A and B are shown apart, each in its own frame.
Chain A
Amino acid sequence: MVLSPNDKTNVKGVFGKICGQAEEYGGEALEMFATYPQTKTYFPHFDLGKGSAQVKGHGKKVAAALVEAANNIDDIAGALSKLSDLHAQKLRVDPVNFKLLGQCFLVVVASHNPSLLTPEVHASLDKFLCAVGTVLTAKYR
């Protein structure tokens, strides 16, 4: 799927508005463990209890990667190349989970900024999150 110029503008607009809270949103999106318990299998080494510092810390990392991708939206593959290698060689998170995280991120954005997530922006952000997932799993095989 290809991001149109409008999509890129919409995505940059969203991240421009939420950049201050992106880290917090990342942490909240990771509360997906409640919604999708199967995702916990990737974090046996984490304390996954409510308010976990490890989950918050990891959420920050995920958010930072999304911000990086948005800032380099013309070359997401280039911007996330190292992360893509990491996921392919070491983490090997099943591709279906990126869609789940994408859904959770959208829910967090919606619950904090309902007016920001117009249908058009929703579409663009969904496409962007798909594109990020595609890049991160691109080297899996």
Chain B
Amino acid sequence: MVHWSAEEKQLIASVWGKVSVEECGAEALARLLIVYPWTQRFFDNFGNLSSPTAIIGNPKVRAHGKKVLTSFGEAIKNLDNLKVTYSKLSELHCDKLHVDPENFRLLGDILIIVLAAHFTKDFTPACQATWQKLVGVVAHALAHKYH
């Protein structure tokens, strides 16, 4: 089980408390699709993903980004019980969605960059360290039921 220090929990809570899940989620997903275009393979039914402008303005991307980050919020509420919390989601991503877990790591890295741009100088190295640990643990939990 992953251990979280009091300082790490504080850094997670203080950042998360100021995040707009809708805006941040939309931006993170859009950037994933723009920076790593091969990730678009999972979103054939999303309509127009032909350019960065199209992706950023795409309502399905925004909605899905919000959904993904909302789920991330669940992880934050259940830091000590992540594998169980994400058990069904993990099965879904493996069995139904067929998503390579590498994509969870890519999205995690993108999320960190979005947070850094949002919080600027308040996104300290300690913040980055804690959040990289968090996204790593989330990615791991999401991959846990893969077979």
Contact = CB atoms under 8 A, between A and B. Distances in A.
A119 B132 contact: no
B98 interface: no
A20 interface: no
A118 B113 CA distance: 11
A107 B30 CA distance: 17
A126 interface: yes
Nearest to A37: B129
Contacts of B116: 107-108, 110-111, 114
A34 B133 CA distance: 11
A31 B124 CA distance: 10
Q: Helix, strand, loop or mixed for chain B's interface? A: helix
Interface residues of A, number: 21
B120 interface: yes
Nearest to A112: B120
A103 to B, nearest CB: 6
B62 interface: no
Interface string B122-147: 01011011001000000000000000
Interface string B106-122: 00010011101111110
Interface of B: 30-31, 34-35, 52, 55-56, 109, 112-114, 116-121, 123, 125-126, 128-129, 132
Interface of A: 28, 31, 34-36, 103-104, 106-108, 110-112, 114, 117-120, 122-123, 126
21 contacts: A31-B125, A34-B125, A34-B128, A36-B132, A103-B112, A103-B113, A104-B128, A107-B116, A107-B128, A111-B117, A111-B119, A112-B121, A114-B116, A117-B117, A119-B31, A119-B52, A122-B31, A122-B35, A123-B35, A123-B52, A126-B35
